[in-house]
Amino acid sequence: MAQYDLETLRQLKRGELPFHLVHEMQSSHKDSDRFFKMLAIAQESVPWDDRILLPYAEHLYIVEKPDKSRVVKCDCGHEFGDYRRNWKLSALVYVRDTEEKINEIYPNMLGCDPEWMHLREYICPGCGTLLEVEAVPPGYPVVFDFQPDIDTFYEKWLKKPLNRE
Amino acid sequence: MGEGLKPSTAVHPQVAIGWGGKTLKEMLEESERVFKETGRYAGLDRLSLREEHPIRYERIFSLLRGGLVNARETALNISASPIVKEIGELCFALYTPEGDSIALSTGIIVHVHTMSDAIKFMIRNNWEVSPGIRSGDIFSNNNSIIGDVHTADVHTIIPIFWEGEIIGWAGGVTHEIDVGAVTPGSMAFGHEDRYGDGLLLSCEKAGENDEFYQSYLKKVSDSVRAEMYWVLDERTRLAGCHMIRDQVYRVIQEEGIETYKRFIREVIEEGRRSFKERVKEVTFPGIYESPRFTDVPWKDDPTVSHKARRDTLMHAPLTIQIGADGDFNMSYEGANKWGYHSFNCAPSPMQGALWVQMTQSLIPNDKVNDGAYLATSLKLPYGSWCNPDYEKVSTTLSWHFLIPAFTGLIRSLARAYYSRGYLEEISASFPLTGNILQGGGKNHYGVESAFTNFEMSSEGTGAMYFKDGEDSTAAMWNPEGDMGEAETWESLEPLLYLGRSLKPMTPGPGKYRGGAGIESVRMLYRTDEQTLFNGLADGHVFGSAGIFGGYPGNAGYRHSLHGTNMKEIIQNQLPYPTRDGDPEHSEVDEVIRAEENVFDKHATAGPQIFREYDIYVSVHRGGPGLGDVLERDPHLVEKDLNEGYLLPRYAESIYGVVAEQSADGTWKADLEKTAARREQMRKERLARAIPAEAFLERERDRILHRDFIEPVLEMYQSSMDLSPEWREKFLKFWDLPEDFRMVSG
């Protein structure tokens, strides 16, 4: 089974690992300790101390607070609240719902028609990072991209249950 | 059959052909019962052959798999059709007697499972009794309700016998250029229902004693426009099936029939177990949502029939649940109703699509079979576009709905890989596979014919976590995407390529952008008249979406010029356009004068008449992007400017990159100004965005006022009508009254 050192994985995260090495990684059997190594890399990269339970999406983590509550947190430190509630509902939103706004990204003819579909940009209130873009018809409920089953993962897949005391 | 191989034995029709005196139907019922009771294929506890003789076991697999790949490569060279020969639109598979796939070749492996459905259909419906299943028989199928994607994909399926017992099936599939539908082309649309879909073969017995019936060949030749290709492809598939059968006989002669029987059970159970282990190895348990949409803008389209004249928005609300045991459950609960168009999809192609996606994502190895199918579930609401309650729906272009519907699978897996740290596996998914040009008429050889151009096999791929997507290189339905040689298409189609190039602004923007799509400019030549379609194209919506802040790749458009001055341009040797380029400054329009210039978002349009020197612009798709655009390396933006991926006016509006053009025309990013501009853009983002609560309040008000166009209103109402579960979710999210309706009725 392949094993990768932390520096190799840091390079992968930064997009700096040469492609032939990434390709080897893609073709090899998976390294079973990857989760914990990437967790360590995530933890060392953030300016705060809350324990990261999982990398949730680019810039976002689910962390354990000192009171054992679990929240979605941006690497800038902004917190979006309980991970079981869609973090987008606590974000800032910019909706591209006119031709003019869509044409800032796509030339006329290559974008969507705002009456059929608009773009919802979800932005971190703390740092202004664009975290997700939804392309949905107007009136569509906010999409809850991922609701992780953290306890099952730690208990049954990793065999390392989280202490919730 | 090869020399020295044991001949198969004909079976008397009154004698059951299954194992141990059972009928095939009894074998299938027992197989399903045992799986239901034990949760394991054939009820196997131990994979004893694999455990005790691992090398032998792997050797058997390699021999069978090698035989399948060999059959495909040989068959590919028998075919005359560019779709098969150039694009590789064929594949072969080997099945158990019950129709479960054991191993497969490379190629359009979506059909491994659709042929499985067709075999099971024959078994369930007593084909064993009538028309009979005997050694040397040949069956043909292209009925998607039975097991297929659409009429264009034709199956040849043969039973394999050994000493009086059926020991399996070999199957092959190719995509045909024309299917004899109401209008020319392999995936004609614009008609209302199946009666316009063309020649329909419902697991028909097409031959015996390893030869096609003359009556069958006469029928298919008479039923389609490009008959030479069809008939050659029949022989292509049959030759491949016979090669597979020979290989099975070789394996049995070397290993013995009992070992073969044991092997085919164990290899499927191994496939099932390894799939579940793989799910636990690389994904994360939980619930993933990734809905998708496609438009059918036909309300005012005179090219389509009366009942089809509606604006429709397809709703594919994909939810994936990954369970504690590695269960992988997919659901389209909330999908809206089927329609009088050709984009409806039966369960068989949906299963096939799941299959082809899995083999390119979770289980990207050669040891793939129906074990993976048995380890997953797929909920397709009855009455919806993906499981119609009317069997006479048209399905000629199921892909138009199916492709976007599955983009969410790849995006959801990307989220799982991200959480596990397997960043090297992440893709922002794939775009819709369009534009597809097809049609027909009296061609450049002076004969009535038809064609389907398959350069849409090469769309841009989605961005990866660590790099941009690949340009014009793949289609979700064929892992070996190839656009085909322009010259080869020109030999078949009465349209010249004036140009074929990467199209700017097709990649979905992001920290890493999608790969670019191409565009082709085609001119009708040496033909008086052709009927052409614009198809498989999302115009008003994005058929895919980005991830982690990335944007979708381009939506499509239609650009056709009728009554042009191209004849004069050629005679006077004047410059002609090779691309449309920036659609706001179309290079085609700058050069060509035309009596009629059709330039709109009506990217999926029914049969239209084109004449010699008319122009058809074929716009393809770029892949979706990944990550925040303001994090893109300014040097990559600079490179995109210099290589024509990005139009200069978008460097700043999308990426915040301030670039200057030097005297020699090359662009250079000013890093200092870029950093300042990006800082300013982040502030602008924060200033102009509103809290989600405020947006929800505003949007709820729109809902209460039904302030949407008709297809959007109807999509919501249809989903609520078909699914109480989705209705409850929608009403709860928006806090709407229990009796709320989007459309009165």
As a 3-state breakdown, chain A gives helix, strand, coil percent values, each rounded to 5, of: 30, 25, 45
Please enumerate in sequence order all residues whose Cβ is within 8 A of that of B422, keeping only pairs 6 or more positions apart, or say none. A30, A34, B282
What's residue B12's pLDDT?
Answer: 45
pTM, entire model: 0.95
Whether omega before B435 lies within 30 degrees of 0, making that bond cis, reads yes
Please enumerate in sequence order all residues whose Cβ is within 8 A of that of B257, keeping only pairs 6 or more positions apart, or say none. B162, B163, B167
Same domain, A136 and A152: yes
Helix orientation angle between A6-14 and A34-45, rounded to the nearest 10 degrees: 70
Please enumerate in sequence order all residues whose Cβ is within 8 A of that of A37, keeping only pairs 6 or more positions apart, or say none. A4, A6, A9, B421
Same domain, A125 and A69: yes
A21 lies within 8 A of chain B by CB:
no
Cα–Cα distance between B1 and B102 in angstroms, integer?
A: 21
B224 contacts B199 by C-beta, under 8 angstroms: yes
What's residue B7's pLDDT?
Answer: 43
Residue at A125 is within a domain = yes
Residue at A136 is within a domain = yes
Residue of B321, B542, B742 to mutate for A, most A C-beta atoms under 10 A: B542
Cα–Cα distance between B42 and A44 in angstroms, integer?
A: 49
Span B546-589, pLDDT tens digits: 999 999 999 999 999 999 999 999 999 999 999 999 999 999 99
Residue B28 clears pLDDT 60, i.e. is over it = yes
Residue at A58 is within a domain = yes
What's residue B4's pLDDT?
Answer: 40
Same domain, A56 and A11: no
Same domain, A86 and A53: yes
What's residue B6's pLDDT?
Answer: 44
Cα–Cα distance between B745 and B743 in angstroms, integer?
A: 6
Instruction: Considering only the beta carbons, identify the residue of A9, A109, A138 that sits closest to B557.
Output: A109
Whole-number average pLDDT of chain B: 94
Q: At residue B318, what are phi and psi to the nearest 5 degrees?
A: -70, 130
Same domain, A152 and A107: yes
Residue at A116 is within a domain = yes
Span A29-78, pLDDT tens digits: 999 999 999 999 999 999 999 999 999 999 999 999 999 999 999 999 99
Same domain, A73 and A120: yes
Residue B9 clears pLDDT 50, i.e. is over it = no
Same domain, A12 and A82: no
The distance between the two most distant Cα atoms of chain B, rounded to a whole number of Å, is 86
Instruction: Considering only the beta carbons, identify the residue of B599, B654, B733 that sits closest to A105.
Output: B654
Cα–Cα distance between B614 and B188 in angstroms, integer?
A: 21
A131 lies within 8 A of chain B by CB:
yes
Report how many domains make up chain A: 2
Cα–Cα distance between B700 and B713 in angstroms, integer?
A: 14
Average pLDDT value for residue range B305-314: 96
Strands in chain A per DSSP E: 51-57, 60-64, 70-74, 79-82, 92-96, 118-123, 130-136, 146-148
Cross-chain Cβ contact A94/B650 below 8 Å: no
Residue B10 clears pLDDT 60, i.e. is over it = no
Residue at A39 is within a domain = yes
Instruction: Considering only the beta carbons, identify the residue of B295, B505, B552 that sits closest to A116.
Output: B295
Cross-chain Cβ contact A92/B541 below 8 Å: no
Report H helices in A103-143: none
- Structure confidence at residue B358 as a pLDDT band (50, 70, 90): confident
Cα–Cα distance between B432 and B399 in angstroms, integer?
A: 9
Residue at A163 is within a domain = no
Cross-chain Cβ contact A89/B693 below 8 Å: yes
Cα–Cα distance between B476 and B682 in angstroms, integer?
A: 35
B540 lies within 8 A of chain A by CB:
yes
Residue at A164 is within a domain = no
ipTM: 0.98
Cross-chain Cβ contact A88/B730 below 8 Å: no
Cross-chain Cβ contact A54/B293 below 8 Å: no
Instruction: Provide, as residue numbers in chain B, all residues whose Cβ is less than 8 Å from the Cβ of A156.
Output: 285, 324
What's residue A72's pLDDT?
Answer: 98
A161 lies within 8 A of chain B by CB:
no
Residue at A131 is within a domain = yes
Residue with tokens 């079976």: B11
Which residues form the domain of A31? Answer: 1-45
Please enumerate in sequence order all residues whose Cβ is within 8 A of that of B429, keeping only pairs 6 or more positions apart, or say none. B407, B408, B410, B411, B414, B462, B544, B545, B547, B623, B624
Same domain, A91 and A15: no
Q: Which three-class secondary structure state does DSSP give residue B595? A: strand
Span B325-349, pLDDT tens digits: 999 999 999 999 999 999 999 999 9
What's residue B226's pLDDT?
Answer: 85
B362 contacts B279 by C-beta, under 8 angstroms: yes
Residues found in chain B: 745
Same domain, A51 and A37: no
Cα–Cα distance between B621 and B474 in angstroms, integer?
A: 11
Cα–Cα distance between A18 and B288 in angstroms, integer?
A: 31
Tokens of B27: 């074998």
Same domain, A51 and A35: no
Same domain, A51 and A106: yes
DSSP string, B665-694: S-EEE-HHHHHHHHHHHHHHHHHH-EEHHH
Same domain, A149 and A83: yes
Q: How many Cβ atoms sit within 10 Å of the Cβ of residue B361?
A: 16
Instruction: Provide, as residue numbers in chain B, all residues whose Cβ is less than 8 Å from the Cβ of A15.
Output: 465-467, 512
Cα–Cα distance between A24 and B685 in angstroms, integer?
A: 39
Tokens of B70: 């060999």
Cα–Cα distance between B460 and B470 in angstroms, integer?
A: 6
